[in-house]
Amino acid sequence: MRRRWREQQNDSVDLSTWLYGRRLPSPIMSASGTSGHGAELAAFGDLSLIGAVVVKSLAHFPNEGNPAPRVGVVRTGMINSVGLPGPGVKRWIDDYLPDLIRLDANVVVSVWGRTRADYITAVEQLVPVASHLTAIEVNVSCPNTEKGGEMFGHDPLETKEIVRAISQSCPLPIGVKLSPNTDRYVKVAEAALEGGACTLVASNTYLGQVLRKGSNTSALGTSSGGGVSGIGILPLSLRIVKDLNKALPGCDIVGVGGVYSASDALAYLYEGASAIQIGTAAFFDPRTLFKVSKELRETVREQGATSLGDLLTTKREL
């Protein structure tokens, strides 16, 4: 009885947030690449109650990814060199999208490519199912093979051109997932907005390397290293969100990196994010997104507010 009462009280708290031109039921989203290609997290909670499922980055072609081992545990989270394996957009539409539609999830599709044309083709393949999608998230943390392997997301002009071309090919709102591995992230973010993006996602993993214990060889299947994520990057990505919010006030930001709890999520929201994504924490416990949503709802209520919006307005004014 007491539990039911508590649940009812919690249900009256409004966690909704405004992103991608629509109201999402919660600011908690999955982070691309950390919970499969589709509805895998549905085994642990109701996907229609989270902000959105952001699916693993898709190319217009199927991709095998990197050799194993692809992930390693580090003291501050994890490192991965998964290498963007995936079925390609067309097979994803047939094999994974139907479950997400059936479960009434908001679906954000992350796209990647090796050339500008790759990105455009991936997005063009999504146009026929655009009415089932919430947004496109452009993963620009990929080497541009036409420019000697420099990351797209480290070049403001290239980022702007990709986003512009995507916005001309597809009616969906566009988020750009920034790379944190450049001191030009504000310039890249500005360029993304100029190109037609409405949302900045900050940020992707941090370049890193881990060796096998007592050895001089990489602990990952690729000798070039991988991307570090998890609790240790929270202050780093939080700083990026803070800088973006200061330089580009009013712009929609999604904070991502090292969120394990409601207070981690609130840190991003206080620094100006409208939503947050959870990745590594869900590897350690796939219920994390649903636990953090519940914890956030309880926190809002404990602070005497009836909505997350009210809580944020009050705290930001203090």
Ligand X SMILES: Cc1cc2nc3c(=O)[nH]c(=O)nc-3n(C[C@H](O)[C@H](O)[C@H](O)COP(=O)(O)O)c2cc1C
Give me the residues that bind ligand X (CB under 6 A), please: 31-34, 56-57, 71, 78, 80, 82, 84, 110, 139, 177, 204-205, 229-230, 233, 256-259, 278-281
Question: Least distance (Å) from ligand X to the CB of residue 203?
Answer: 7
Nearest residue relative to ligand X (C-beta): 33
Pairwise CA distance, residues 51 & 107, whole Å: 9
Pairwise CA distance, residues 112 & 123, whole Å: 10
Nearer to ligand X, 163 or 256 (CB): 256
Question: Least distance (Å) from ligand X to the CB of residue 65?
Answer: 10
Question: Least distance (Å) from ligand X to the CB of residue 95?
Answer: 17
Nearer to ligand X, 10 or 181 (CB): 181
Question: Least distance (Å) from ligand X to the CB of residue 230?
Answer: 5
What letters, b where the CB count within 10 A reaches 16 and e where it falls short, cover 86-121? Answer: bbebeebbeebbeebeebebbbbbbbbbbebebbbb
| Catalytic machinery residues | 142
Nearer to ligand X, 126 or 278 (CB): 278
Nearer to ligand X, 13 or 159 (CB): 159
Question: Least distance (Å) from ligand X to the CB of residue 142?
Answer: 9
Nearer to ligand X, 144 or 205 (CB): 205
φ, ψ dihedrals at 198, nearest 5°: -110, -10
